[in-house]
Amino acid sequence: MDWLRRLLFPEPARELRHQRACNIAFRTVHIAATGILLGGHVFDVEESRLWGSLYLSIATGLGLLVLEAYPSLRWIYQGRGVTVLSKLALLCAVPFLWDNRVPILLAVLVIASVGSHMPSQFRYYSFVHRRVLEHRSRGKAGGV
């Protein structure tokens, strides 16, 4: 099973060419699509008109998830991954709590905003290791 560990948590973490540019592109489209989706629900736009924004939000969100996961899956148990999983759990609740979709979508927006701007001591905190894992973007070595 050591091969699986090396595949999922490589040391050093894999690098993806043009990752920053891809991240900016996906994030820009994602913010636009989710903004349209949230606004559509707030202003009670006909459901059929929101499907395109929903699918685009999902596709770009998955793209962002892949960009985060490619270097190493360690992000999933760090603060940054926990915020993504929290947003995903809330979004999955929407079909079952349809009448509460606007407050749920607003909660997702708050989690996204806080998660994107929280200090690295929280973003890179590992709930598995119970410490901050250093990250490459600051010239530090990663750790699983």
pLDDT, tens digit, 9 for 90 and up, residues 8-63: 888 888 998 999 999 999 999 999 999 999 999 999 999 899 999 999 999 999 99
User: 79 with 60, same domain?
Assistant: no
How many residues in total does the chain contain? 144
Cα separation, 76 vs 81, whole angstroms: 4
Cα separation, 40 vs 49, whole angstroms: 8
* pTM of the predicted structure, to 2 decimals: 0.81
**Radius of gyration, CA atoms only, the chain:** 17
Single residue among 70, 85, 112 that ends a domain in this structure? 70
- Nearest in space to 110 (alpha carbons), one of 28, 38, 33, 20: 38
Single residue among 70, 87, 104 that ends a domain in this structure? 70
- Confidence bin at 102 (pLDDT 50/70/90): very high
* Domains held by the chain: number: 2
Tokens describing residue 140: 């530090």
User: 83 with 143, same domain?
Assistant: yes
Strand, helix or coil at 136?
helix
